[in-house]
Amino acid sequence: MKHREFLGYSALGALVLSTAGTMGYALSRQLPHSTPPVGLAPTPLGGEPLQPLPRIANLSETAGRFRSALTPAPHAVPLGDELEARLWLYNGKVAPLIEVREGDELNITLINELEQETTLHWHGVPVPQAQDGAPWDAVAPGESRQYRYTFPAGSAGLHWFHPHPHEGTARQVAHGLAGALLVRPPQDLLPLEVEEHLLVVSDLRLMANGEVAPHTAEDWMNGREGELLLVNGQREPRLDVAPGTTLRLRLINACAGRYLRLRLDQHELTLIGTDGGLIERPQPLEELLLTPGERADLLVRVSEQAEGRFQLASHPYERGWMGERPPHLEQVAPLLAIHTLNSGVHPAVALPERLGRVEPLGEPAVQRRVELTEVMPGHDDHGAGHGDPHAGHGAGHGAGHGDPHAAHGGGSGSGSHHGTHGPGAGHGAGQAGDARPEVDFLINGRAFAMDEILFEGRAGEVEEWEVFNNSHMDHPFHVHGTHFQVVASRDGDGEWREAPWLAWKDTVNLAPYQRLTLRMVFREPGDWLFHCHIIEHEELGMMATIRVS
């Protein structure tokens, strides 16, 4: 349906005009006097109070239903007295929030006000395949599409949504398109004394005129890391709490390529939930690595010291950078400053003995191999595989770990190899000056093709995937349509190790030459994507499809 037709009869049209958000508040403060890098916009000062995520309004008056519209469109956000950031946002909001409960029906109309096609991918939500927002269901400029589904039991957790068009995702994410989706359980197990905050971490790179800078060759090779690191659209916000407060920090890494190695000064972090919701028992951590696409649910009991200053920050992490290294890779990146007030100390909070329930999946009915590689002309040592490029391919339904040259699953193009998707081919020169290098990121030796099916499976069966990162750089691996359990890992030539505890995940990191054993069940039939969640690697080919019947 055309946008003007939609607005002609729907009250949702009023929502399109909403531009409330936190970024204008956060970035319209005084700018620093230091000279920014040549060609880039100045960086605003931080230190303002942490703002909650701006909400998408529920226009339904019926209990158990959430009805609204999301309109991706260009918006100018103030950076100072004379400068505006020119972003693409949903309803004019930076990192908007949709909040629902298990059992609710979601009814969202996407109205595309961009000049290119887009989709809405509901990352981490067990939706029917037609509602997944995959590239083959793209919405053209000026058109609209309805997404409608019900949140089943067990879907509580912090999820998110972002665009997923074919060969257009990286540019749209770089312009700021992303939002949070919080699904609450029928009854929250955590005590009321716990103070909850949702934190969406994103980054931007802006030119001096406020436009989003085009991708560089290093961006495409490594995954884009913007110099302006934001939390809820703010730079280094401040959270004031009473001493001894127990905080629940629920984080989304919405960056395209930036890894977050999280530490909080003088504090231990306690992990209580992952992508798929609560884990069974709290896990104490000195630090947490949160890769692009991942979520984490953390508890922190803040120091009993009055007037204390503690910094939640991302510390340097070596993930196999290619090309010229930007200075920020070696620097500690502040995210959130936690300040304790000069007030009474809050007592410690007692947690329930069991938080969630993660039942181990049974023995697999099918086993597959998935190999992640990258290919650069003249650089065969950059993860092109050791020996035969077909080695380690996943077999079709029911095949095991026998013949390493076993055939792929059926479907269009199942007999092809790299073919027309040779290094640099098929990707074009990019958009708006983007400089795509001659590099392909591959799954089982293939670059993604819209009409190609790599595996075939059956709904309801337990699958076991051995995922091998046969490359020199980290890759976060994401599966659509289900959650999985990491049951074992193997580093390089080391021994296999069983996972010490189980969690429901949809995104997991693989270090160079690491292998992970994942178990999963696809409940819904359809074509489901799996890919590296470094957005640029996905777009350069590290993505494939499993057809579930």
Quick: pLDDT tens for 393-407. 333 333 333 332 233
Is residue 296 within 8 A of residue 274, CB to CB? The reply is yes
SS3 state at 476: strand
**144/436: higher pLDDT:** 144
Q: Which two tokens stand for residue 340?
A: 């304790």
Q: What are the structural domains, with CATH classification, of the chain?
A: 3-184 (2.60.40.420), 195-340 (2.60.40.420), 366-548 (2.60.40.420)
pTM across the whole model: 0.87
Least confident of 74-78, 156-160, 377-381: 377-381
pLDDT band at 83 (very low <50, low <70, confident <90, very high): confident
Residues 72 and 88: beta-carbon distance below 8 Å? yes
Name the phi and psi angles at 25, rounded to 5: -65, -45
Cβ atoms of 271 and 300 within 8 Å: the answer is: no
Please count the CA atoms within 13 angstroms of the CA of 23 that sit on its side-chain side: 29
Look at residue 228 and give its three-state secondary structure: strand
517 closest CA partner among 340, 369, 418, 363: 369
Query: How many angstroms separate the Cα of 409 from the Cα of each of 350, 368, 481?
Result: 50, 10, 18
- Average per-residue pLDDT in the chain? 86
Residue that wins the pLDDT comparison between 363 and 40: 363
Tens-place pLDDT, residues 536-545: 999 999 999 9
What percentage of the chain reaches a pLDDT higher than 90? Answer: 76
User: Angle 90-298-187 (CA atoms, 0-180°, nearest 5)?
Assistant: 80
pLDDT tens digits, one per residue of 281-322:
999 999 999 999 999 999 999 999 999 999 999 999 999 999
pLDDT at 272: 97
**162 Cβ contact list (under 8 Å, min separation 6):** 120, 121, 123, 169, 172, 173, 177, 178, 179, 254
Q: Tell me the mean pLDDT in the region 442-471.
A: 98
Token digits of residue 30 = 């005084």
| Least-confidence region, from 90-104, 136-150, 366-380, 446-460 | 366-380
Q: Note the pLDDT tens digit of each residue in 472-486.
A: 999 999 999 999 999
Q: How confident is the model at residue 220 (pLDDT cuts 50, 70, 90)?
A: very high
Residue 434 has what pLDDT?
65
Q: How many CB atoms lie within 10 A of CB 59?
A: 16
- Indicate if the pLDDT at residue 426 is higher than 70: no
Q: How confident is the model at residue 380 (pLDDT cuts 50, 70, 90)?
A: low
State how far Cα 369 lies from the chain centre.
24
Q: Are 174 and 258 in contact (CB under 8 A)?
A: no
At 2, the pLDDT band (50, 70, 90 cuts) reads very low
- 408 and 416 Cβ atoms separated by less than 8 Å: no
Neighbouring residues of 433: CB distance < 8 A, sequence distance ≥ 6? 214
DSSP β-bridge partners for residue 73:
89
SS3 of the chain: helix, strand, coil, percent, to 5: 10, 35, 55
> Could you identify the residue written with the tokens 């939609």?
6
Q: What percentage of the chain carries pLDDT values higher than 70?
A: 81
Looking at 372-381, 408-417, 502-511, which range is the least confident one?
A: 408-417
Q: Which amino acid is at 200?
A: V
